[in-house]
Amino acid sequence: MENSPSGPRVVIINGSARPGNYTAMASALVADEFRKIGLAVDVVNPGELELPLPGTAANHPGAARLQSLVAGASALVLATPEYHGSFSSVIKLAIENMGFPSAMAGKPVALLGVAAGAIGAIKSLEALRGIVSHVGGLALPMPVSVANVQRVFDAQGVCLDPVMEKYIRRVATNVRDYLTDHVCPKYTLERILREGMPVG
């Protein structure tokens, strides 16, 4: 698929602003895997964009930057910690700043959650899936939930569990497989209809 002159791009949005947060550690593995399999990736930390509260600012540069990145992406990854049984306010603020209709509409969206508890981020991922679908995003199957995350990474962000690392990196291959199997054929068909079959 050729989403842009440089090929498909994926945007990862981190849902935590806490220094040294585990969400960013997990999503860094996903970003690394995207690069290994040949997909360009932009990692967005919403705190750095100083996104406004909904309805408080028009034409905010941070929101415009976020919308531009998302609109130009072939797919998204939303990464969130689980706070109080749901996804973080940071990831919700990012979603609120994607505009209406949402820049996420029509985009495949993979979900990644981390939690300190033994059952992982199941509640937050289920809630987030509902929001993604509501704004028109295509929530991909097989979200990845990381339980006991404080035992999975050390303070420097090194993954201490090879099995869990493979599981986290699967987010990237799931997105790649969806783009290859479902999105790229669509764009190829549209190109053939516009330009005709290649000769030779």
58-106: per-residue pLDDT in tens?
A: 889 999 999 999 999 999 999 999 999 999 999 999 999 999 999 999 9
pLDDT for position 94? 97
CA 148, distance to chain mean position in Å, is 21
Residue 200 lies in a domain: no
Contact indicator for 73, 137 with CB cutoff of 8 Å: no
CA 129, distance to chain mean position in Å, is 12
Residue 75 lies in a domain: yes
Contact indicator for 1, 183 with CB cutoff of 8 Å: yes
pTM value is 0.88
CA atoms within 13 A on the CB side of 3: 20
Residue 153 lies in a domain: yes
Residue 3 lies in a domain: no
Tokens in use for 64?
A: 């415009």
User: What residues make up the domain containing 157?
Assistant: 9-195
Distances (CA, A) of 146 to 16, 94, 95, 129, 198: 15, 22, 22, 16, 46
Q: What is the pLDDT of residues 105-148, one digit of tens each?
A: 999 999 999 999 999 999 999 999 999 999 999 999 999 999 99
Q: What is the pLDDT of residues 152-193, one digit of tens each?
A: 999 999 999 999 999 999 999 999 999 988 765 555 444 545
- Cβ neighbors of 193 (< 8 A, separation 6 or more) are none
Residue 152 lies in a domain: yes
Beta bridge partners of 76: 11, 109
pLDDT for position 99? 93
Cα angle 71, 37, 163 (rounded to 5 degrees) comes to 110
Residue 20 lies in a domain: yes
For the chain, what is the domain count? 1
Q: What is the CATH number of the domain that holds 108?
A: 3.40.50.360
Query: At 113, which helix (H) or strand (E)?
Result: strand 108-114
Residue 36 lies in a domain: yes
| Helical H segments across the chain, by residue range | 22-36, 46-49, 61-71, 89-96, 122-134, 149-152, 162-178, 184-195
- Rounded mean pLDDT of the chain? 90
Cα angle 73, 45, 156 (rounded to 5 degrees) comes to 120
Residue 87 lies in a domain: yes
Phi and psi of 113, rounded to 5°?
Answer: -130, 150
CA-to-CA distance for 79 and 31, rounded, in angstroms?
A: 11
Name the DSSP letter for residue 100. Answer: T
